[in-house]
């Protein structure tokens, strides 16, 4: 190894080897530093600081908001109440989708509606909702346009809608 090192450092090609070393080594070092910096940010950042998700959205709401969750499966009532325990939570869905009894019990209102009357049932809450949440639900609705129109109708002025839906 030393002989190779001496051969390279004594040769007229030494400047070329030195440049090659930095061309090869520097990008590798940069990638390592980027990974370390990313992990450090994730470990030491505040919760939800860079997360544009449902949890982050809920953490920004007023504590006593009236929330209508359209398509409230996957224990959504319980997960929402963990973040906003004093909110008034109304869950509405076409069936119990991956719900535990504890989650259903944590909802202030839990409504099961047929797919045919889903869009019209939203109108029961005339301008009394602060926030509407709809996660991976709209693509399953029979009358999507009516559902969206009715969501807007039941919101109080200045209310917010949070939608998540697939792009495919």
The string of pLDDT tens digits covering residues 90-137 is 999 888 877 889 989 999 999 999 888 888 999 998 888 999 998 888
User: d(Cα 128, Cα 68) in Å, to the nearest integer?
Assistant: 10
Residue 123 lies in a domain: yes
Domain tally for the chain?
2
Domain shared by 40 and 62, yes or no:
no
Is residue 84 one of the residues assigned to a domain? Answer: yes
Predicted TM-score (pTM) of the model is 0.67
* DSSP code string of 86-147: TSEEEEEESS--S--HHHHHHSSEEEE--GGGHHHHGGGSTT-EEEEEEES-GGG-SSHHHH
Quick one: 70 and 147 in the same domain? yes
Domain hosting residue 13, numbered range: 2-44
Does residue 34 belong to any structural domain of this protein? yes
């Amino acid at each position: 190894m030393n002989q190779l090192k001496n051969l390279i450092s004594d040769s007229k090609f030494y400047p070329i080897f030195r440049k090659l070393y930095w061309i090869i080594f520097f990008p590798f070092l940069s990638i390592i530093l980027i990974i370390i910096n990313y992990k450090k940010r994730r470990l030491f950042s505040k919760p939800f600081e860079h997360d544009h998700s449902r949890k982050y959205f809920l953490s920004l709401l007023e504590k006593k908001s009236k929330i209508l969750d359209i398509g409230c499966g996957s224990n959504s009532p319980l997960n929402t109440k963990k973040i906003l325990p004093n909110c008034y939570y109304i869950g509405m869905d076409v069936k119990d989708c991956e719900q535990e009894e504890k989650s259903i019990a944590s909802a202030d209102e839990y409504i099961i509606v047929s797919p045919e009357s889903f869009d019209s049932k939203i109108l029961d809450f005339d301008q009394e909702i602060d926030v509407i949440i709809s996660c991976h639900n709209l693509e399953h609705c029979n009358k999507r346009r009516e559902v969206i129109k009715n969501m807007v109708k039941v919101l109080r002025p200045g209310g917010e809608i949070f939608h998540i839906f697939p792009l495919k």
